[in-house]
Structure 1
Amino acid sequence: MEAGSDVPDLVRELTRRADPARLRDDVAFLADRPRGRIHAPEAMLRAEAHVAERLAEAGWRTERQPFEVRWRPGCTDRPGGGRLTPFRFRLHRRLAGANLLAEPPGADDGPAVLVGAHLDTVVGSPGADDNASGVAALLEVARLLGGLPRTPRVRLACFDMEELGFVGARVAARAARHGRPVSGMLCLESVGCFSDRPGTQAVPAGFGALFRDAAGAVRARAGRGDFTLVVHRRSSDEAADLWRRAAGAAEPALPVVTLRDPRPDGPLGTLAGLVVPPLNHLGRSDHAAYWNAGIPAVLLTGTANFRNPHYHRPTDTPGTVDPVRLTAVAVATAVTAALWRPPGHGR
């Protein structure tokens, strides 16, 4: 399967096999209670078991990879806004968690595109949008790709401790540089909340000047939160274009706003965020760990607190997630993962 394959044909094929009821059920199961390695460990193990079971049913081999880190800068998982303020900063003396990594049968050791979503929530929130929606979409990606005649080079990951500062993703990204290589990464973060009402979509302060095209696209939609934001860098231009094309061919068609982060991958990009603080909004999920490791990555998001009034609250419940449009997100992500060929990916 090549990047030049007909995107609409693959979208139609996967859409025929996709099922919004499955995504609705996965969101309902995961988001019936808060889950976190520290504040709700039993719920976290329950969520892990559900994910592993669904991946096994789809034919994927799942490995639980425990990790332990010490003296790791991060943040608290108490409810809060989207910015890492001094009040949210934490230096974690010791954290012990686990990522779930999955591969299709017959996968080789070559570079693969990784689709990832975090499994944990903040304290007190069941996290239907943040981020049961992302995990449900990932599980549907597994089902859809597992049914293709030729399995693409794709791996899946459910990350631990995103709410503590992308801890699990940072461990996984570092391992990818020294173990089984990752050629590119697609991050599903808070992708289930949509609104057709004007004025429901906010834009971060300073974005109007920094990203005129993206801000203008939001204004042109009268501030409706009915789109998915695709945040990418130059290294992942191809993935952003594939996702936009796939979403446009989905049923129903899913509006997309793309935003290119001007920073380079690697440490220089991280330092640029210190100089221009509004840029840090673009790195608020696990994809940032891959950017920092020099791996092309894309963030797929409904913009979290800039749209969803239930963000990090007890009211982030399954009824606020749109399973039909979430299914379109899963289809577009599966198509992009199957067709994207980042540098070093191979054929």
Structure 2
Amino acid sequence: MEAGPDVPGLVRELTRRADPARLRDDVAFLADRPRSRIHAPEAMLRAEAHVAERLAEAGWRTERQPFDVRWRPGCTDRPGGGSLSPLRFRLHRRLIGANLLAELPDADDGPDADDGAAVLVGAHLDTVVGSPGADDNASGVAALLEVARLLGGLPRPPRVRLACFDMEELGFVGARVAARAARHGRRVSGMLCLESVGCFADEPGTQTMPAGFGALFRGAAGVVQARDRRGDFTLVVHRRSSDAAAELWRRAAGAADPRLPVVTLRDPRPDGPLGTLAGLAVPPLNHLGRSDHAAYWSAGIPAVLLTGTANFRNPRYHRPTDTPDTVDPARLTAVAVATAVTAALWRPPGHGR
């Protein structure tokens, strides 16, 4: 019988090289001002330059991919908490933005060379109006940059790609463009989304849940209740197609230093357009698709959301007070290590076949 991957061993190796100070510095740089292609374009260009520079230092080749889309349904990027209210809906007449995509020139081809598909790690770079977005989502971008450093330093770097998405706060616009291209080009076999992953709260009662979750997801809700509703865990949202990634991430987080508690939650919907439509019948399910991974689900690509649950834990979500001092660098580093391990070892369904 073939031995499984040595998850604890790889966690230990990457933890030795990980550096919380680097993540703290990246969060501080990105989150010293709001970032928006529409409302703060100079700040977005500054953030892009920082990301590209850090990726180049880690040995990654970065490509800026502009997009120009018209009449796209989405939402406003004005502060609105975690509301899924129809009042936030917008039909965008025209949006001009850009994603940053990166890959390692010397990635290990291994058995997957024939199809060229790779696991993608993604995080969005923009913020809502008026918020510096330390947790949402400088934390995700900082973790992505550390993933780049850790994977780029391996003797045989795995086939992984990275993406910093634009206009997530307008309705996952950049991710939808990238996911559509990935589906047609068969370039992505699976996706890991880093969304608001730097905020932790150890006090009882700091974690809330959306209305109706207790009935829909009794297992996950029971775990949260058993932990006295402490907001000290990372939520891993997956579907059947990404079960293996969720399990890999849970194992890696359990071996990390500091150890990260994990709550896993399986979205019962299928990948593809049918899953998107199912959210109309059961509105609470839409909370599981509130970031860029939803674009990949809709494109039929296995995906996982990694999150600190945003407004269900963080009272500073979408506010001017979402500042770098509220992000935990040590635990954010553990998130980056677990994500790097999962990206390196996950083989989504059909991958390499």
Q: Give the TM-score normalised by the residue count of structure 2.
A: 0.96
**Distance in 2 separating the partners of 1:245 and 1:79:** 35
Write the distance in 2 (CA, Å) between the matches of 1:23 and 1:91.
Answer: 36
Superposition deviation, residue 177 in structure 1? 1.2
Asked if 1:163 is matched to 2:165, the reply is no
1: distance between equivalents of 2:132 and 2:344? 31
- Deviation, 1:174, is 0.2
Residue 341 of structure 1 aligns with which residue? 347
Residues 234, 262 of structure 1: 8 Å contact kept: yes
Structure 2 match to 1:183: 189
- Alpha-carbon separation, structure 2, partners of 1:134 and 1:275: 31
Could you tell which deviates more after superposition, 337-346 or 268-277?
Answer: 337-346
Q: Mean Cα displacement is larger for which, 106-115 or 150-159? A: 106-115
CA separation of 1:279/1:110 partners in 2, compared to 1, >3 Å: closer, same or farther?
farther
Q: Indicate how the Cα distance of structure 1 residues 59 and 91 shifts in structure 2: closer, same or farther if over 3 A, else same.
A: same
Match of 2:127 in 1: 121
TM-superposed CA distance for 1:105, in Å, is: 1.5
Cα distance in 2 for residues equivalent to 1:345 and 1:86? 38
How many residues are matched?
347
In structure 2, stretches of 5+ residues that fail to align are 112-117
- Post-superposition Cα deviations, 1:195-236, rounded to whole Å, max 9, x if no partner, equal 100000001100000000100010011010000000000000
1:331 corresponds to which of 328, 337, 351: 337
Moved over 2 A (4+): 1-4, 106-111
Q: Aligned in 2, Cα 1:195/1:3: closer, same or farther, shift over 3 Å?
A: farther
Mapping of 1:33-48 within 5 angstroms?
33-48=33-48
Deviations 1:293-343 (A, max 9, x none): 000000000000000000000000000000000000000000000000002
Structure 1 residues without counterparts, runs of 5 or longer: none
Partner residue of 1:203?
209
Q: CA deviation at 1:266?
A: 0.4
Is the Cα–Cα contact under 8 Å of residues 83 and 281 in structure 1 kept in the other structure?
A: no
Q: What displacement does 1:60 show? A: 0.2
Q: Check 1:5–1:284 CA distance in 2 against 1; reply closer, same or farther (3 A cut).
A: same
Does 2:30 correspond to 1:30? yes
The change in CA–CA distance for 1:292 and 1:6 in structure 2 (over 3 A counts) is same
Structure 1 Cα separation of the partners of residues 95 and 3 of structure 2: 40
**2:108/2:158 contact within 8 Å kept:** no
Compared with structure 1, are the counterparts of its residues 52 and 136 closer, same or farther at alpha carbon in structure 2 (3 Å cutoff)? Answer: same
- Over the matched positions of the two proteins, sequence identity in percent amounts to 91
Q: Which residue of 2 aligns with 1:83?
A: 83
Distance in 1 of aligned mates of 2:149 and 2:228: 36
73-82 or 20-29, which deviates more: 73-82
Conserved? CA contact 1:3–1:339, under 8 Å: no
Deviations 1:241-264, CA, capped at 9 Å, x for gaps: 000000000001100000000000
Offset, 1:179 = 2.0
Q: 2 CA distance for matches of 1:159 and 1:178?
A: 18
- How many Å apart are 1:4 and its aligned residue? 2.3
SS at match of 1:67: strand
- In 2, Cα distance between the equivalents of 1:216 and 1:60? 42
Shift of 1:270: 0.6
Q: Shift of the alpha carbon at 1:285?
A: 0.1
Supply the distance in 1 between the matched residues of 2:256 and 2:239 (Cα, whole angstroms).
24
2:107–2:156: 8 Å Cα contact kept in structure 1? no
Q: Contact between 2:18 and 2:337, CA under 8 Å: does it hold in 1?
A: yes
**How far apart, CA to CA, are the structure 1 residues paired with 2:217 and 2:28?**
36
Distance 1:218 1:8, change over 3 A: same
| 1:110–1:180 Cα contact (<8 Å) kept | no
Distance 1:76 1:16, change over 3 A: same
Over aligned residue pairs, what C-alpha RMSD do you find? 1.7
Alpha carbons of 1:205 and 1:3: their partners in 2 closer, same or farther (altered >3 Å)? Answer: farther
Displacement of 1:110 in angstroms is: 10
Which of 252, 266, 273 is the aligned partner of 1:246? 252
Shift of 1:2: 9.9
Distance in 2 separating the partners of 1:279 and 1:193: 23
Alpha-carbon distance change, 3 to 67 in structure 1, aligned in 2, over 3 angstroms: farther
User: Does the aligned pair in 1 maintain the 2:211–2:284 contact within 8 Å?
Assistant: yes
SS of the aligned residue for 2:36 comes to coil
Q: How far does residue 58 in structure 1 lie from its aligned partner after superposition?
A: 0.2
> Relative to structure 2, which stretch is displaced further, 2-11 or 290-299?
2-11
> Retained in 1: the 8 A contact 2:135–2:199?
yes
**TM-superposition CA deviations, 1:90-110 (whole Å, max 9, x none):** 000000000000001134899
Stretch deviating more after TM superposition (103-112 or 124-133) = 103-112
Cα 1:159/1:185, change in 2 over 3 Å: same
1:3/1:83 Cα in 2 relative to 1: closer, same or farther (>3 Å)? farther
In structure 2, distance between residues paired with 1:83 and 1:268: 23
Q: How does 1:1-347 map to 2 (within 5 A)?
A: 4-107=4-107, 112-346=118-352
Change over 3 Å in CA distance of 1:109–1:146 after alignment to 2: closer
Aligned residues of 2:58 and 2:149 also touching (Cα < 8 A):
yes
- In structure 2, distance between residues paired with 1:168 and 1:108: 28
Q: Name the CA distance, whole Å, in 2 between partners of 1:103 and 1:2.
A: 29
